[in-house]
């Protein structure tokens, strides 16, 4: 018969009384096993072979909680209070002497509530009760607690009023659902021949040691059941956001881009003025941007302040007329948390104005947003530029298309948009479940941006939301789910 040794041993025991329903203890002592896992395992596989029937019954077990064990030693609170009250001369059977007695506030307070529940009333501050009745109820409670002193009892064997009562008080009793099982031979189980049940040496795992000897020749091999339930190993893994960032990184690297980084703390000048965002732009106000008090300012090279001032006021040599008004260099040096990663790409151009480059960065940005299903004050952007003599709008669009197809979204379209720093400007959308979703902005930097940086080449630029993309890929509908430190949920998110 194609069953293991444990199954053979269990069957042999059960065949000694073929019509008996066996409980766990009986099977353990008769098989000689100390671990119930063997009974459960062998029982289960015999059940699957139709030789054994397993009956499960659910019960609730009641045992003492921490406070219950204390009560066993020190006495139940009501019992100690009642002893004290009963031993007082009539004139001292009142609240004020109780308060000055040894019972602390934390016991006297709840204690009075419990006594009231037992029928003790307080009349003009004195305790009034039918003493015999109160004592009797307390005795019952003590007996209940004592009955649990030697281990859990099945709920049906206990007085249900007392179970309800003690369940409503914290820590005295604990109730636990338990499943108890009984094992019984089926019709075909009773027909198994004893002679088939001798235990044999079976090889469960072929090790190099076994192969070196000849003991495997003629041995029986334990059947290997690939369908049997097994624990799912909970190994470590990257956080889905980390994994996604890694994937984006490898896609851009594969496309020939290099990675750049930058600081969270920036000057308003580099974050905004360099991008020709007018100093009066509403997004620059405190409602949208986190300005810092420490440091309050970040120094900016005079050369750039001068150039931005000229460009903003009158367009300088760019052919633009600028925004007019007067440019405030103090405003430019205010410190803030970067509101977009475009600050990294413009600085990169300023540092390498005559070297063609294709760079990207994935970084955290900060905006004063109210947290909701789609907004957080901290999020990430995927930013990039192509800075070279022949950079063009078609090149920009095909680059974004290539990027998103490599990420698994081949349908990409762009729509006209507006940013103060690009012309033309385009919004990038991808097709997801039949709907076009906007993922970010892009365009060709305006001369007002590139001239002060020292370059004459066009620059394709884009900046896209990482969280939006992550939500699509992970199938989430709330951005906050990305950052909940819940191992259970995280471990079930798809591997990226
Ligand atoms: N900086 C823009 C944003 O934060 C995106 C963008 C980047 C647009 C580059 C155009 C060019 O939404």
Q: pLDDT by residue for the chain (496 residues), tens digit each?
A: 678 889 999 999 999 999 999 999 999 999 999 988 999 999 999 999 999 999 998 989 999 999 999 999 999 999 999 999 999 998 889 888 888 888 877 888 888 899 999 999 999 889 999 999 999 999 999 999 999 999 999 999 999 999 999 999 999 999 999 888 999 999 999 999 988 888 777 787 888 888 888 878 877 787 777 887 777 777 888 999 999 999 999 999 999 999 999 999 999 999 999 999 999 998 898 889 999 999 999 999 999 999 999 999 999 999 999 999 999 999 999 999 999 999 999 999 999 999 999 999 999 999 999 999 999 999 999 999 999 999 999 999 999 999 999 999 999 999 999 999 999 999 999 999 899 999 999 999 999 999 999 999 999 999 999 999 999 999 899 999 999 888 888 888 888 7
108 CA to middle of ligand 1, Å?
Answer: 66
Ligand 1 centroid distance, CA of 360 (Å): 13
Strand partners, 59: 178
Question: Which residue bears the tokens 């049997």?
Answer: 228
In this structure, the strands spanning 435-445 and 422-432 are antiparallel
Ligand 1 close to Cβ of residue 442 (< 6 A): yes
Question: β-strands 220-221, 202-203: how paired?
Answer: parallel
Q: By alpha-carbon position, which residue is closest to atom 10 of ligand 1?
A: 442
Task: Report the pLDDT value the prediction gives residue 233, as an integer from 0 to 100.
Answer: 76
Sign for the pseudo-dihedral over CA of 284, 287, 288, 293: positive
Half-sphere exposure of 418 (CA within 13 A, CB side): 2
Q: Which of 385, 440, 446, 464 to mutate to test the pocket of ligand 1 (most atoms within 8 A of CB)?
A: 440
User: Alpha helix locations (H) across 213-341?
Assistant: 240-254, 268-271, 302-314, 329-332
Query: For ligand 1, is residue 401 a contact (CB within 6 Å)?
Result: no
> What pTM was computed for the model?
0.58
> Is 441 close to ligand 1, i.e. is its CB under 6 Å away?
yes
3-state secondary structure of 107: helix
Edge-to-edge strand ranges of the sheet holding 153-154: 22-23, 173-185, 52-64, 153-154
The alpha carbon of 270 and the centre of ligand 1 are apart by a number of angstroms equal to 14
Does residue 447 have its Cβ closer than 6 Å to ligand 1?
A: no
Q: Which residues pair with 22 in a beta bridge?
A: 183
Position in ligand 1 atom list of the atom nearest CA 425: 10
The CA distance from 429 to 290, in Å, is: 28
Q: Is the shortest distance between the CB of 65 and ligand 1 below 6 Å? A: no
Largest CA distance in the chain: 105
Distance CA 64, CA 60 (A): 13
Strand partners, 57: 180
Q: Is 341 in the pocket of ligand 1 (CB under 6 A)?
A: no
Cβ of 342 closer than 6 Å to ligand 1, yes or no, is: yes
**Cα–Cα distance measured from residue 496 to residue 239, given in angstroms and rounded to the nearest whole number:** 10
Classify residue 5 by burial, with Cβ atoms within 10 Å: 0-12, 13-18, 19+: middle
What is residue 184's DSSP assignment? E
Q: Does ligand 1 come within 6 angstroms of the Cβ of 446?
A: no
Beta bridge partners of 419: 422
CA 171/CA 64 separation, integer angstroms: 8
Cα–Cα distance for residue pair 95/84, rounded to 1 Å: 12
Q: Are 153 and 61 in contact (CB under 8 A)?
A: yes
Q: How many angstroms separate the alpha carbon of residue 422 from the centre of ligand 1?
A: 9
The pairing of strands 126-128 and 220-221 is: unpaired
Burial class (CB in 10 A: 0-12, 13-18, 19+), 190: middle
Question: Strand (E) positions, 50-205?
Answer: 52-64, 121-123, 126-128, 153-154, 173-185, 202-203
Q: For the chain, first and last CA: distance in Å?
A: 46
pLDDT at residue number 15: 95
Q: Which atom of ligand 1 is nearest to the CA of 464?
A: 5
- Residue 380 buriedness (CB in 10 A; 0-12 / 13-18 / 19+): buried
Pocket probe mutation, ligand 1, options 441, 448, 450, 460, max atoms within 8 Å of Cβ: 441
Residues 6+ apart with CB under 8 A from 281: 272, 420
Contacts of 436 (CB under 8 A, 6+ apart): 413, 429, 430
Spacing, Cα 494 to ligand 1 middle (Å): 29
CA 440 to centroid of ligand 1, rounded, Å: 7
Q: Is the CB–ligand 1 distance for residue 462 below 6 Å? A: yes
User: Does ligand 1 have an atom closer than 6 angstroms to the CB of 361?
Assistant: no
| Ligand 1 atom at shortest distance from the alpha carbon of 339 | 4
Which residue's entry shows tokens 């008996």? 20
Determine the pLDDT at residue 1: 62
Nearest to 295 by CA among 264, 321, 271: 264
H/E run at residue 121 = strand 121-123
Distances (CA, A) of 351 to 257, 345, 449: 17, 10, 14
CA of 377 to the centre of ligand 1 (A): 17
Q: Whose CA is nearest to atom 12 of ligand 1?
A: 441
Element (H, E) at 138: helix 131-147
Neighbours of 8 (CB within 10 A): 19
Q: Which atom of ligand 1 is nearest to the CA of 383?
A: 7
Annotate 151-183 with b (16+ C-beta within 10 A) or e (fewer). Answer: ebbeeeebeeebbebbeebeebbbeeeeeebbb
Closest CA to 395 of 372, 426, 354, 438: 426
Q: What is the Å distance from ligand 1's center to 441 Cα?
A: 5
Q: Are 186 and 52 in contact (CB under 8 A)?
A: yes
**For residue 345, which atom of ligand 1 is closest to its CA?**
9
Distance CA 235, CA 256 (A): 34
Q: Is 100 helix (H, G, I), strand (E, B) or coil?
A: helix
């Amino acid at each position: 018969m194609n069953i293991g040794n444990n199954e053979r041993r269990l069957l042999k025991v059960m065949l000694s009384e073929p019509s008996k329903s066996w409980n766990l203890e009986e099977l353990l002592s008769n098989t000689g096993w100390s671990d119930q896992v063997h009974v459960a395992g062998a029982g289960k596989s015999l059940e699957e072979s139709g030789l054994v029937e397993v009956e499960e019954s659910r019960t609730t077990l009641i045992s003492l909680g921490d406070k219950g064990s204390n009560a066993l030693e020190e006495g139940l609170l009501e019992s100690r209070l009642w002893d004290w009250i009963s031993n007082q001369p009539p004139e001292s059977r009142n609240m004020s002497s109780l308060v000055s007695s040894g019972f602390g506030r934390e016991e006297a307070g709840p204690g009075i509530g419990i006594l009231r529940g037992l029928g003790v009333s307080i009349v003009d501050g004195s305790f009034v009760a039918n003493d015999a009745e109160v004592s009797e109820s307390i005795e019952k409670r003590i007996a209940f607690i004592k009955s649990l002193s030697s281990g859990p009892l099945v709920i049906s064997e206990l007085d249900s009023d007392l179970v309800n009562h003690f369940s409503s008080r914290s820590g005295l009793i604990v109730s636990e659902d338990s499943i108890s099982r009984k094992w019984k031979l089926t019709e075909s189980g009773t027909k198994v021949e004893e002679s088939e049940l001798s235990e044999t040496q079976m090889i469960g795992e072929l090790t190099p040691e076994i192969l070196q000897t000849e003991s495997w020749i003629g041995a029986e091999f334990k059947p290997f059941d690939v369908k049997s339930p097994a624990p799912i190993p909970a190994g470590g893994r990257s956080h889905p956001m980390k994994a996604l960032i890694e994937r984006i990184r490898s896609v851009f690297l594969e496309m020939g881009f290099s990675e750049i980084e930058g600081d969270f703390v920036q000057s308003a000048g580099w974050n905004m003025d360099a991008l020709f965002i007018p100093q009066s732009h509403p997004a620059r106000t405190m409602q949208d941007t986190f300005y810092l008090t420490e440091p309050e300012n970040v120094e900016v090279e005079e050369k750039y302040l001068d150039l931005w001032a000229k460009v903003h006021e009158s367009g300088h040599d760019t052919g633009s007329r600028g925004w007019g008004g007067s440019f405030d260099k103090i405003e430019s040096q205010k410190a803030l948390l970067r509101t977009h990663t475009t600050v990294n790409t413009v600085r990169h151009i300023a540092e390498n104005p005559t070297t063609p480059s294709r760079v990207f960065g994935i970084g955290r940005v900060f905006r004063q947003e109210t947290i909701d299903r789609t907004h957080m004050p901290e999020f990430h952007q995927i930013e990039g530029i192509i800075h070279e003599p022949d950079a063009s709008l078609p090149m920009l669009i095909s680059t974004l298309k290539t990027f998103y197809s490599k990420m698994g979204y081949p349908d990409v379209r762009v729509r006209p948009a507006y940013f103060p720093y690009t012309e033309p400007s385009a919004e990038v959308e991808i097709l997801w479940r039949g709907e076009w979703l906007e993922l970010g902005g892009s365009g060709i930097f305006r001369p007002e941006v590139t001239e002060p940086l020292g370059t004459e080449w066009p620059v394709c630029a884009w900046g896209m939301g990482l969280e939006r993309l992550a939500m699509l890929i992970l199938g989430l509908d709330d951005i906050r789910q990305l950052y909940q430190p819940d191992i259970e949920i995280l471990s079930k998110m798809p591997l990226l």
